Amino acid sequence: MNSHRFGIIQSKQETEMSSVPALAQVARGMIQREKSRLGCPQAARDTVARRIKIGAGSLSNLIRERIKTVSADLRDRLVSAAIADLSNELTKLEHERQLLLQMGTSPDHDDMRSLESALATARKAIERMK
C-alpha cells in the first residue's frame, strides 16, 4: 500500500526495508548463510560485499549500524540478493524434501518436520522482503 510522506509516494518495501537495522539484519543473514557454505567469516563478508557491489568495510559499517541512511540503490541490491539467496535455499530444501519422500520417509518423521519448518521460514522471509 502506498502512503504519502513529504509529498513523495513511498512503496511498502521502501517503508519496511529502508531502515538501517532491518537492512543490517538482512546483510547479517546473508553473511551467516555464506559463512555456513565457506566456513570463513572474512571470506563470507567479502563474497556478500562483492555480490551487492560495495566495499567490505562499507558492509561492516552497515552490519554494525554505523551509518545513518542507506541509498535506495544499495537497498534494492541488498534485498534482491537476499531474495535470490533465499530462493536458492528454498529450491535446495524442496529438493531435499523430494528425496526424503522418495526414500519413503513418513510426514511425521522428525527430519520431515524440521524440513517443513525450514521451508515455511524461508517462504515467510521471502514474502516479508517483497
pLDDT digits (tens, 9 = 90+) for 37-85: 999 999 999 999 999 999 999 999 999 999 999 999 999 999 999 999 9
Alpha-carbon distance of 34 to 32, in angstroms, equals 5
Q: Which of 29, 9, 5 is nearest to 86 (CA)?
A: 29
- Residue 125: is its pLDDT beyond 90? no
Q: Quick one: pLDDT at residue 111? A: 85
Q: What is the pTM of this model?
A: 0.77
Residue 4 per-residue DSSP state: E
In this prediction, what percent of the chain has a pLDDT beyond 70? 87
Give the other-Cβ count within 10 Å of 85's Cβ: 20
- Residue 130: is its pLDDT beyond 50? yes
In this prediction, what percent of the chain has a pLDDT beyond 90? 64
Q: Is 104 left (phi over 0), alpha (psi -120 to 50) or beta?
A: left
- Residue 87: is its pLDDT beyond 80? yes
H-helix or E-strand containing 62?
A: helix 56-63
